[in-house]
Every structure is written in C-alpha cells, then in structure tokens.
C-alpha cells in the first residue's frame, strides 16, 4: 500500500533500512511464523512516499479512493482473483458457523446484547457501566467511524475498529491528565492501536518494540498521521545513554515514538512505563520469546502501572504451509503464559467481541503491576 512520506522521513527510513540495526538481526527473535511473513515484506520508494506490502501484521487503513482504485486494478489485471474472492464470500455467507460483522459485533458487545453472553463479574467488562461513567467511550461502530474521520482520511477497517474497542476498555485505567505518560507496545504491527492510544492519551513517549520489517510499516503509518511528533528509529539509538536522553526530553514536546528491535530491549530503563501492551503477537512467538517479554514488562513497568494483553486462547505459531506439513512449535496457550502472581488482575475474560465475530477465542487480560521479589 502506497503512503505519502516527507523527503526527510524517506531519508530517515532509508537510513534505517541500510543500517546494521535492520540487517544484523537475531534469528532467535524470529519464530517460524515470522520468518515466513517477514520475508514477504516489500518496500518500494516512490516520488511521493513509500509503497509497503506484506501479509500478517500489514493491516494499514487506506482512503476510500485508494481502496476503490486498488480493487479496480486488481479486477482488470487478475479477474481470476475477483472470481475467487466472490466464491469465498458466497462460501462464507452460506457456510457454518455464521458470525457477525465486526461492526455488528462491536455494537452488540457495547449494548450488552444477550448474544455476547454479558455475565456480570468483577473480572469482566461491564460495557453498560463503561458507557454510563465515561463520556469518551464510543458506543457504536458508527460513532467510531465518525471519530476516525475527524483525524484521518482512511476508511474504517475491522483492525481499526478492534483497536478502538481496546481504547474503550483502557479509558478507566489511564490518567489522561498525567503529563509524563510513557507507553510501550510489544509487536505494534502497522501501528493502528498505537495511533489510537497516542491520540486518546497523549503519552510523552511511546516505545514500540518490533521486528525491523514491522517497524518500517508502523513508521510509515504513524509519521504520516502525526507529523508533529518526534520519531526515533533503532539505528539512531547507539547506546543506553542515547535512550536516556530521550527519556529526559523536555515535557513540552508534542510527543515521541521510539522504535526498538527485540535485540535492543536492554536499552529500555527500569521502572518507567505506565502502560505495557501486547495484542495478537505473543500468540505468534516461541515460548522463550514470550518468557523474555514478560521479564521485560516486569522490569520496565512502574509499580502501579498496567499491562494489557490480548491474544488467542490457543495458537500454534506456524509457517504458511501448516495445512500440509507438521509444525513443530508447541501451542501457545494464553492461560499458560508466565503471569506474575503479585500483579493485580483487573480484567480477565474471553473477548465477547471476538467470540461473535471470529472462529477462534481471544482472551483479554489487564493487570496492575506489582513487583516480583
């Protein structure tokens, strides 16, 4: 997908892609799943910006015009793909099980529709109470669409809608009045959730830890949305002192996105993060990688900070040939992650939105951070 990018940011991105931070990678950081999908990333620099494409993790929203143009070109060049897509849609409509669209599921979940199984529990989200108590909560997919149109020219996608759902959930727990908020997202993908949380909560620094291929994608998207923000790419962080300089930046700056590769996480200082996030990427990792990131969250989080984790209840991080070849990675099970007993569990539920819209259950957990001795 082609995105406009200033000449300055094109140079910055090209410098990163030509650096050791991009090429000297740690194979340990790549599960079999990500070895496959990272190899499919394509980047092409154009006169006005950059064209980034790939499969998993490449879920950038696009304008209605670009979407229509892209689909028209596909129809002209490869009519067989159009026929295949139509056949798939017919199969999906008449096949079983039947699911709601993401917009329908969002509305049903937010209004406590019985189909979403809205049992009341101290560990589950009471969306009726959420709507009553917090005016910022968006109550319907239509309200999300209107809000999204205020600050982007993109059409609303299911990935953006789900990110708004997570925003709704987090609103009661993040103090928007705090001037020195720092967030860290592990595996931000295209940056959809990061963009929405940045706009809503205005953290002074938003750290993003991801593979180089995904960093390219998120940088292109986020720098286009927030040209007033400062952006720091991995090759610009030569040592821990450089990162600490960023941490001590003037509070008056518009905000800063700092990107780090998985092999740079030791540069992150201890006890600075108010909100750590992982959505839909632990499920693609090895068990050793998940263990390492749980240690990271405990180390960098402030006591009283929060950890928001959303992943499939069970998933095997597999290659693209999983239907025809045995996969050797053990399954990732959400409830077997190395959760810390001293953290306080605030939300712990199987996502009602995902349950009515998708075949695989997705779990949501929000914890308040304690400190493991």
pLDDT value of position 364: 98
Residues 91-116 have pLDDT tens digits of 656 665 679 999 999 999 999 999 99
Residues 59-89 have pLDDT tens digits of 566 565 555 554 555 555 666 666 776 766 6
Architecture of the domain delimited by 99-368 = 3-Layer(aba) Sandwich (3.40)
Q: What is the DSSP string of 21-39?
A: HHHS--GGG--HHHHHHHT
Residues 211-255 have pLDDT tens digits of 998 999 999 999 999 999 999 999 998 655 566 566 666 555 668
Structure-token match 């990688």, residue found: 289
Residues 172-211 have pLDDT tens digits of 999 988 889 999 999 999 999 999 999 999 999 999 999 9
How is residue 323 annotated by DSSP? T
Q: In sequence order, what are the residues at sequence separation of 6 or more whose Cβ sits closer than 8 angstroms to the Cβ of residue 222? A: 191, 194, 195, 198, 229, 231, 257
The pTM score is 0.85
Which has the minimum average pLDDT: 132-141, 246-255, 275-284, 294-303?
246-255
Rounded CA gap, 2 and 224, in Å? 12
Residues 286-322 have pLDDT tens digits of 999 999 999 999 999 999 999 999 999 999 887 777 7
Q: Where are the alpha helices (DSSP H) in 226-318?
A: 240-247, 287-300
What are 33's two structure tokens?
């799943």
* Packing angle of the helix pair 192-201, 212-225 (nearest 10 deg): 40
pLDDT value of position 373: 47
Residues 2-57 have pLDDT tens digits of 667 888 888 899 999 899 888 877 766 666 676 676 767 778 777 777 877 766 55
């Amino acid at each position: 997908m082609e995105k406009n990018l200033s000449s300055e940011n094109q140079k910055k991105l090209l410098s990163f892609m030509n650096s050791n931070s991009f090429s000297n990678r740690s194979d340990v950081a790549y599960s079999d799943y990500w070895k496959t999908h990272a190899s499919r990333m394509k980047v092409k620099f154009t006169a006005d910006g950059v064209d980034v494409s790939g499969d998993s993790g490449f879920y950038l929203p696009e304008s209605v015009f670009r979407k229509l143009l892209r689909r028209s070109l596909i129809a002209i060049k490869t009519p067989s793909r159009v026929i295949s897509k139509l056949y798939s849609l017919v199969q999906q409509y008449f096949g079983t099980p039947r699911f709601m669209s993401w917009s329908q599921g969002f509305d049903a979940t937010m209004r406590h529709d019985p189909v979403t199984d809205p049992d009341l529990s101290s560990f589950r989200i009471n969306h009726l109470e959420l709507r009553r108590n917090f005016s910022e909560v968006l109550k319907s997919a239509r309200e999300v669409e209107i809000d999204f149109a205020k600050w982007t020219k993109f059409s609303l996608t299911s990935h953006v809608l789900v990110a708004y759902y997570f925003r709704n959930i987090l609103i009661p727990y993040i103090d928007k009045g705090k001037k020195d908020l720092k967030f860290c997202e592990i595996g931000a993908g295209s940056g959809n959730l990061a963009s929405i949380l940045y706009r809503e909560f205005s953290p002074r620094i938003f750290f993003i830890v991801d593979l180089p291929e995904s960093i390219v994608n998120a940088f292109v998207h986020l720098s286009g949305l927030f040209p007033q923000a400062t952006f720091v790419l991995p090759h610009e962080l030569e040592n821990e002192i450089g990162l600490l300089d960023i941490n001590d930046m003037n509070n008056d700056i518009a905000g800063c996105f700092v990107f780090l590769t998985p092999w740079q996480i030791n540069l992150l200082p201890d006890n600075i993060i108010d909100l750590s996030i992982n959505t839909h990427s632990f499920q693609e990792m090895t068990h050793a990688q998940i263990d390492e990131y749980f240690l990271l969250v405990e180390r960098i989080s402030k006591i009283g900070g929060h950890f928001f984790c959303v992943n499939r209840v069970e998933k095997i991080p597999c290659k693209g040939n999983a239907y025809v070849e045995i996969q050797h990675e053990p399954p990732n099970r959400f409830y077997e992650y190395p959760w810390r007993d001293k953290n306080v569990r605030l939300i712990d539920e199987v996502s009602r939105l995902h349950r009515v819209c998708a075949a695989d259950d997705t779990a949501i957990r929000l914890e308040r951070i304690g400190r493991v001795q």
